Amino acid sequence: MNAFLHRIAGNIAPGFEEVVAAGLHVALVLVLAWLAWKLCSRLLLAGRKRLVVRAASPDVTNRIETTSQVLRYATAAVIVIVATMLVLDQLGVSIAPLVATAGVLSVAVGFGLQSLMKDYFAGIVLLIEDQIRMGDVIEAGGKAGLVEQMTLRYVRVRDYDGNVHFIPNGLITTVTNLSREYAYVVIDAGIAYGADIDRAFGVMREVAAAMRRDSAFSSRIREDLEVAGVERWEDSAVVLRARLKVNPLQQWAVKREFLRRLKYAFDKAGIEIPYPHLKVYAGSGHAPEEIPGPQSRD
């Protein structure tokens, strides 16, 4: 090919052969980079599918999905960097001076890159320690919601209202994961001071037992109701606390249904759920007048 290019270029312009050869080499590098990306993508996809099939639990599956996505992101970055360096070399741009210049410039822009590098290092730590997976519900960086995407740079979270938050990994100092292994539904039920506390606890246990027998909730609730006792005294109510152990991400649905059923059960058992009220004193010698109010007195 070189001889053919030499015969043609000799009659056109000096240096044409080198330009055409460099162009062909650049095209070859780009094609090889594309093929490398396709090959790596297929290998990662095949490996992910095999691991998912062998996964012992949904938690392991979520971790595999998260890791494979981050590996795809890192592989693409490596291929782009290598291909760019090879292209520059074929274009006659020396890489060594660029590396040296980059070292000098890195000192100048180091403060600007600190945040970016912090995000990448934090992302690696989050991935290694398995703190966050795709599909988890978390609280991190002042935001809460469902993890839709995780990269070495950020975590994308969608909250209950549908808003999407991009949380840089460097800002994540504490992660509250609401979807690991199991969760608790904590119930604080207020009853009137004149109500029978033990009877109220019995009604709560009956409601929980009925939900465990219900096919719609039996697979979500893991254990019987755990009664903690009297939690506190408020202005108008005695607050009773109990909890249910449920599957991860089921705590909100189970709690709403439990409270709905508990309201009807308390009404049927004659257990009053009080509303806030105040006692107003008109002055010396007058009996106190009790006035219902929409809000309790703090």
Which residues, at least 6 apart from 294, have a Cβ–Cβ distance to it below 8 Å?
275, 276
CATH of domain 183-277: 3.30.70.100
Confidence (pLDDT) at 297: 44
| DSSP at 170 | G
What's CA 255's distance to the chain center, in Å?
22
CATH of domain 114-179: 2.30.30.60
CB 133 within 8 A of CB 65: yes
CB 250 within 8 A of CB 241: no
Closest CA to 24 of 1, 47, 53: 1
Confidence (pLDDT) at 283: 63
Q: Which amino acid is at 48?
A: R
- The residue whose two tokens read 């058992």 is 269
* Structure tokens, 93: 């741009």
CATH of domain 2-108: 1.10.287
Per-residue model confidence as pLDDT tens for the chain (298 residues) = 555 545 555 555 555 556 666 677 778 878 888 888 888 888 877 777 777 677 666 666 666 776 777 777 778 777 887 777 777 777 766 666 655 555 555 554 555 556 777 887 888 888 878 888 888 899 998 899 999 888 888 899 999 899 999 999 888 888 999 888 899 999 999 999 999 999 999 999 999 999 999 999 999 999 999 999 999 998 889 999 999 999 998 999 999 999 999 999 999 999 998 877 666 766 665 555 555 555 544 4
Which residues, at least 6 apart from 123, have a Cβ–Cβ distance to it below 8 Å?
70, 150, 151, 152, 153, 154, 169
In the chain, what are the domain boundaries? Answer: 2-108, 114-179, 183-277
Which helix (H) or strand (E) covers residue 146, if one does? Answer: strand 143-150
CB 188 within 8 A of CB 231: yes
Q: How far apart are the first and last CA of the chain?
A: 90
| DSSP at 285 | T
Confidence (pLDDT) at 298: 42
Backbone angles phi, psi at 290, to 5 degrees: -90, 125
